[in-house]
Amino acid sequence: MDLLPIVEAIQNTGFAEWMRMSRKGLPIINWMHVVAITTVFGTIFVVDLRLLNYPNASRSFTRLSEEMLRWTWGAFALAVITGLMLFAANAVTYYNNTAFWLKMGAIVLAGINMAVFQFLTFRSVTHWDRDRPTPVAARAAGAMSILLWLSVIFLGRWIGFTKGYNFEVPDEIEEDLFDFGMRLIEAVSGFG
């Protein structure tokens, strides 16, 4: 099945056109995506460190996991939404990009790792929830999770260096980037 016509149709939507033509849209959505992915990784990293017994096993895994993962899921939902928005803006380019597909594969593998942990290893959590070292399977899941999410971040950055943007500035751009940047700096810094 050739998905290229579907990908081209996504790229030709009005929303995708707005994302490409807006000086504000793409950078703001990209920023939100980066913040969401950072939150996903940060919260998962804390849980994974506990699986690796770092700094120790005295903190209840179930409590820590419950506290962190609600933030993880919210941030993951935001990352998916903003990721789809970014994809729409340059869908054909992403579709033909190896780093993009490797990133998607790493996300799928991270999901599989999480599912295996949740449905197999987590069943015995009452035996190692607190004051006991985690079993080898839990430590392996934690280490694999860290590796996969670091891969997602690395591959996400790699996409930006391999996707071949067209750097011509269209005449229809709605605002001058320099003016927008200056107003943003003034708003953030409190000057002006």
> How confident is the chain (192 residues) per 10-residue block, as mean pLDDT?
90 89 85 96 96 88 94 96 93 90 96 96 93 93 97 91 60 60 64 50
pLDDT for 102 equals: 94
pLDDT for 178 equals: 61
What token pair was written down for 121? 């290893």
Q: Identify residue 134 by its one-letter amino acid code.
A: T
Range of the domain at 113: 4-163
pLDDT for 23 equals: 79
Cα 40 from Cα 79, distance rounded (Å):
8
Examine residue 55 and say whether the peptide bond preceding it is cis (omega within 30 degrees of 0). yes
Confirm whether 178 is domain-assigned.
Answer: no
pLDDT for 165 equals: 54
pLDDT for 146 equals: 98
Confirm whether 183 is domain-assigned.
Answer: no
Confirm whether 174 is domain-assigned.
Answer: no
Find out whether 192 and 186 touch, Cβ atoms under 8 Å.
yes
pLDDT for 172 equals: 61
Q: Residues near 164 by Cβ (< 8 Å), separated by ≥ 6?
A: 93
Report the predicted TM-score, pTM, of the whole model to 2 decimal places: 0.80
Confirm whether 57 is domain-assigned.
Answer: yes
pLDDT for 180 equals: 62
Q: Which of 178, 168, 16 is nearest to 91 (CA)?
A: 16
pLDDT for 24 equals: 82
What token pair was written down for 111? 């999901």
pLDDT for 2 equals: 85
Total domains, the chain: 1
Confirm whether 169 is domain-assigned.
Answer: no
Q: Residues near 61 by Cβ (< 8 Å), separated by ≥ 6?
A: 50, 51, 125, 128, 129, 130, 134
pLDDT for 161 equals: 81
pLDDT for 176 equals: 58
Q: Which of 69, 27, 32 is nearest to 51 (CA)?
A: 69
pLDDT for 59 equals: 86
Confirm whether 98 is domain-assigned.
Answer: yes
What token pair was written down for 39? 């939150």
Q: Long-range contact list for 11-15, CB < 8 A, 24+ apart? A: 11/88, 11/89, 11/90, 11/91, 11/92, 13/88, 15/85, 15/88
pLDDT for 155 equals: 93
